[in-house]
Amino acid sequence: MTGRWLFIVEGAASVGIGLLGFVLLIGFPDDMKHKNTIPFLKAREVEWVQARVNEDRGDVVLEPFNFKKWISAGADAKIWGFAIIFGSLTTVTYALAYFLPQILFYGMHFSLGASQCLVAPPYAFAGIVMITMGHYSDKYRMRGLPIVINAIMCFVGLILMGFVKNLGARYFGVFLATAGANANIPMCMSYQANNIRGQWKRAFCSATLVGFGGIGGIIGSTVFRQQDAPNYRPGLIVAICANVVIIILVGLLSMKFKRDNAKADRGEIKIEGSEEGFRYTI
């Protein structure tokens, strides 16, 4: 009965916040009616926001939906690169979210109560890493390098968790793995958002990102098997390989982006069909 009430309370809170968001959230800046309903959004401010968005994304004016244009976005290889990176990330984050208490209990031999409590500090540390990496990523206008740094952090953490005997070192590895994987989620989403232009191409890219994120969740929820306790090495190896895939793909995308930016600087190509001098964020 207690479990049912837990779902009821959490579900009611989610519905309540959703209804509040429906009332409070405003639409896209070009919806001029918000000038009358949002006191802090004046006409000149709307124009400024539109100009900034158009400079960044080139899709302030919403195009009518065109299925051919939407589906043709699938021919762009980098969209699938972003999707695979995100799916690799969620493989690790879902695995940690679902199985970290079991890893601490069965693998590191903490008590049941301690295992539940010791899950929290690594996620607090992950929040700090996430904010810090996001700040410097924005400051220096980089996306690929921070993703690689986070992936290496996660890689090292997983090695410590699965292949080192010292308990303190193994728990330290939990901090590194949790921080690296979770900090990369918003970083990956920013990476793809900064390098895709056009309303319906962005829509296609968002769909692939969500879809592959779900696939990663399925993988992450199945690779840590009870029969692999106490070391759970098959699951840890899958998570380690996922980070290797991330590093390789970011390296390949970075080389492509640098090459295309150089061509655009020489006037040889227009990136994403942009007339405004758009460049990839590396």
Name which residue leads in pLDDT, 22 or 233: 233
**Lowest model confidence (mean pLDDT) among 50-59, 82-91, 160-169:** 50-59
With beta carbons less than 8 A apart as the criterion, state whether 244 and 233 touch.
no
**Lowest model confidence (mean pLDDT) among 102-111, 197-206, 247-256:** 197-206
Residue 144 pLDDT more than 80? yes
Structural domain spans, the chain: 75-267
Burial zone of 104 (CB within 10 Å; 0-12 exposed, 13-18 middle, 19+ buried)? buried
Distance CA 166, CA 6 (A): 37
Q: What is the dihedral of CA 7, 13, 15, 17, to 10 degrees?
A: -150
What is the number of alpha carbons within 13 Å of residue 244 lying toward its C-beta?
8
What mean pLDDT, rounded, does the chain reach?
A: 89
With beta carbons less than 8 A apart as the criterion, state whether 27 and 17 touch.
no
For residue 42, the model assigns a pLDDT of 76
Query: For the chain, what percentages of helix, strand and coil (3-state, to nearest 5) are there?
Result: 75, 0, 25
DSSP 8-state class, residue 230: T
Q: What is the dihedral of CA 122, 125, 127, 133, to 10 degrees?
A: -130
Tokens representing 262 are: 């150089």
**Alpha carbon distance, N-terminus to C-terminus of the chain:** 52
For residue 46, the model assigns a pLDDT of 77
Distance CA 211, CA 217 (A): 10
DSSP 8-state class, residue 271: G
**Lowest model confidence (mean pLDDT) among 24-38, 153-167, 215-229, 252-266:** 24-38
Distance CA 180, CA 195 (A): 22
For residue 40, the model assigns a pLDDT of 66
Angle, CA 122 vertex, CA 116 and CA 127 arms, to 5° = 125
Handedness of CA 114, 119, 125, 131 (dihedral sign): negative
Q: Which CATH number fits domain 75-267: 3.40.50.720, 1.10.132.10, 1.20.1250.20, 3.50.50.60?
A: 1.20.1250.20
Give the pLDDT band of residue 26 (cuts 50, 70, 90).
Answer: confident
For the whole model, what pTM was predicted? 0.86
For residue 161, the model assigns a pLDDT of 95
Tokens representing 103 are: 């890893």
Distance CA 80, CA 201 (A): 12
Residue 37 pLDDT more than 60? no
Angle, CA 86 vertex, CA 84 and CA 92 arms, to 5° = 105
* Segment 56-78, tens digit of pLDDT: 666 666 777 777 777 888 899 99
Determine the residue type at 160.
Answer: L
CB atoms < 10 A from the CB of 77, how many? 10
Residue 1 pLDDT more than 60? no
For residue 3, the model assigns a pLDDT of 60
Could you give the C-alpha distances from 208 to 71, 80, 212, 282, in angstroms and in order? Answer: 11, 7, 6, 21
